[in-house]
Amino acid sequence: MTVRPLPFRPPPARDELLSSWIGRLAKANHCSAEELCGYLGLGQGRVPEHINDLGQVDWTRLCSAVQRTRDEIAAMSLPDTVHHAVRYVSRHDFQHCPGCTEQTPDLALRHWRFAWSLTCETCGQSLAAKYPAGAVSERLLARAARGAQALETAVVNNNLRRLRRMELTLHVVSMLDVGRSASVISANERERSIALAAVDVGKTRPLLGAAIILRANDRTVRGLRRAFPKHGRVIERIRAMSHALDRRLPGRWETEHPTGQKTYGTSRPSASESALQAARQAISELGTEADRQVLLARADAIWKRSGGIES
C-alpha cells in the first residue's frame, strides 16, 4: 500500500537524527510526532532513532510519504550498540550545538549523541553539555579529548579488546567514587570529562591509579571482588602492586600511626580520597607517559605531604 506524499517536507539537515527530522516534519504538517508516526506506519510509540527500531517498517509506505529512499532514511538512524562493551551512544540529547540550534530550533544531529563528539561537525563550535560544569581545567579537557579520540578509534576499528579494557577502566573509576558517574555519555560535563580522561589514562597505565588508591585499603579490594567476580586476576594484580608500593616505602604506617590505631578527623580527607588526589596530581604534573617509578614516587611524596590518613 502506498500513501500520498506529505504536503510539506523540509529536507533533513546534514547528519540530522531521524527523530529530529520526523519532529520537524510533524511541525511543518501541523500534527504531533506520534500522529505522523502512525501515518507513516511507524507505530504510535516512541519516535524511532536506532536502526533496530526500523525492523518492522513498511518501507514502501514510508519512502512514498517522505519522498526519501530507504538508504537515506536508514542513514539518519543511530547504530545498534547493545553488544558493545562501552555504551558510547546516548539515548537522550545530552549535549547540543548552541549555534546550530539557534538557527534551527529542535534540531538534533546524529554525532551529538556519540560519546567522542566534543565539537559540532557542522559549524565547528564546542558542544554544550546539558549540565555544564562551573569550571573544568584545560588539562582535564585535553585528556578528555584524547580519551574521546581513543574511544572513537576503538569503535571504528571494532577493537573489542581495547573496548573491554576501557570498560574495566570505567568500572574501576566508578568503584573508587571519582565521580558520581563514570559514563562517557553523562549529561554532567565534569563527570563525562573525568570518564573520558580515565579512558585516556587507561590506554597505557590502567592499573597505576588503582594501585596507589588501594594501599592499605582492603575494604575497597573486597568491594572490587564483589563487583567483578570474573576479574579476580586483574584485582589481585592491582592488590599486589599496592602491597609492592608499601614494601618500597617501609615504616610509613608505623611512623604516621605508631599505635596502630586509626586517626579520625572531620576536616581531613580519608586515605583513599587523599591518595586519589595525590595520584591525579602526580599524573597531572608529570604526564601519562612519565616513568612508572618516578610517577609512583611523586604520588607518594604528594600523599605524605598532604597528611593522608587511613579510612
Say yes or no: 74 and 86 in one domain: no
Buried residues in 235-252 as b, exposed as e (16+ CB within 10 A): beebbebbeebeeeeeeb
- Would you state the pLDDT for residue 289? 60
Say yes or no: 69 and 112 in one domain: no
Question: What's the pLDDT tens digit per position in 12-44?
Answer: 999 999 999 999 999 999 999 999 998 888 875
Domain that holds residue 133: 81-203
Say yes or no: 51 and 128 in one domain: no
More confident call, 1 vs 66: 66
Q: Is the pTM of this model over 0.75?
A: no
Say yes or no: 74 and 138 in one domain: no
Say yes or no: 299 and 185 in one domain: no
Question: What's the pLDDT tens digit per position in 153-176?
Answer: 999 999 988 888 888 778 777 765
More confident call, 45 vs 130: 130
Say yes or no: 67 and 98 in one domain: no
Q: To the nearest whole percent, how much of the chain has pLDDT over 70?
A: 67
Say yes or no: 52 and 110 in one domain: no
Share the mean pLDDT of the chain.
Answer: 78
Give the domain-ending residue among 152, 184, 203: 203
Give the domain-ending residue among 48, 63, 80: 80
Task: Please provide the DSSP assignment of 220-275 as one string.
Answer: HHHHHHHH-GGGHHHHHHHHHHHHHHHHHSTTHHHHH-TT------SSSPPHHHHH
Q: How many domains does the chain have?
A: 3
Say yes or no: 195 and 86 in one domain: yes
Angle formed at CA 180 by CA 178 and CA 184, multiple of 5 degrees: 85
Residue 128 has pLDDT above 50, yes or no: yes
Task: Give CA–CA dist 298/305, Å, rounded.
Answer: 11
Give the domain-ending residue among 45, 80, 115: 80
Say yes or no: 233 and 291 in one domain: yes
Say yes or no: 68 and 125 in one domain: no
Say yes or no: 174 and 129 in one domain: yes
Angle formed at CA 241 by CA 213 and CA 165, multiple of 5 degrees: 80
Say yes or no: 52 and 111 in one domain: no
